[in-house]
Amino acid sequence: MNDNHARVCTSPEWALHIQTDILPALTRDVDLGDRMLEIGPGPGAATEWLRSRVGTLTAIEVDETASALLASRYASTNVEVVTTSAAELSYPDASYDSVGCFTMLHHVPTMALQNAILAEAFRVLRPGGRLGISDVTVDDAIDPVRRAAAEREVGCLAGALTRREYHDLLAAAGFTHIRITATRPAGDGLHSAIIQAVKPATPK
């Protein structure tokens, strides 16, 4: 990501946006359960809000510096911070009631790695568990020139997906009741979106 994007994502204003606009919309009428997994918390914009609504929160962060800062911040709380890749989780099947990932997946550079992360999220969710994602999405009809301009503006769109691509990845992982709602423009050809899905209560 570029320097401006890095400043925005670590700012109090961004945390306020996540906590007042994104998370309430994602979790409205959704029971997060007792055990939740947060994938890619970064500076923790969502972590504080989430931990007050679940019994335990596991935060998976691949960046060692960000993980260490979060671990220090949430020592002796109901948050466990683990430095690892979300594509290779060590937890047993059906370990969590809910999984969340907030403005992170578009930083993942390949669709194959995104697919691995979503497959692991599906595996560790209990049957009937909920997945909630917020992310930047690319308009289906965006042309390569506009996309390149948007990438220069935002600085981290190597893994940005269209809403159709998101739907297909989630369906391929096994999720159902997939709902993708564009919330606001995020640049030329880009939109912020909230994405909700469910692990079926019984196998397909």
Supply 188's token pair.
């030329």
* CATH superfamily for domain 3-198: Vaccinia Virus protein VP39 (3.40.50.150)
> What pTM was estimated for this model as a whole?
0.86
Q: Where are the alpha helices (DSSP H) in 63-143?
A: 64-73, 111-124
CA-closest candidate to residue 100, choices 172, 19, 154, 168: 19
Kindly tell me if the per-residue pLDDT of 17 is higher than 90: no
Which residues make Cβ contacts (< 8 Å) with residue 170, sequence separation at least 6? 118, 131, 178, 195, 197
Burial of 82 (0-12, 13-18, 19+ CB in 10 A): middle
Supply 189's token pair.
């050809």
How far apart CA 132 and CA 99 sit, in angstroms, is: 6
Asked whether the beta carbons of 58 and 36 are under 8 A apart, the reply is yes
How far apart CA 10 and CA 60 sit, in angstroms, is: 17
Kindly tell me if the per-residue pLDDT of 173 is higher than 80: yes
Supply 147's token pair.
């996309």
How far apart CA 204 and CA 201 sit, in angstroms, is: 9
How far apart CA 56 and CA 34 sit, in angstroms, is: 6
- Would you list the domain boundaries of the chain? 3-198
- pLDDT band, residue 2 (cuts 50/70/90): very low
- pLDDT band, residue 110 (cuts 50/70/90): confident
- pLDDT band, residue 51 (cuts 50/70/90): very high
Residues in the chain: 204
pLDDT tens profile 63-92: 999 999 999 999 999 999 999 999 999 999
- C-alpha dihedral over 172, 174, 176, 182, to 10 degrees? -50
Kindly tell me if the per-residue pLDDT of 9 is higher than 90: no
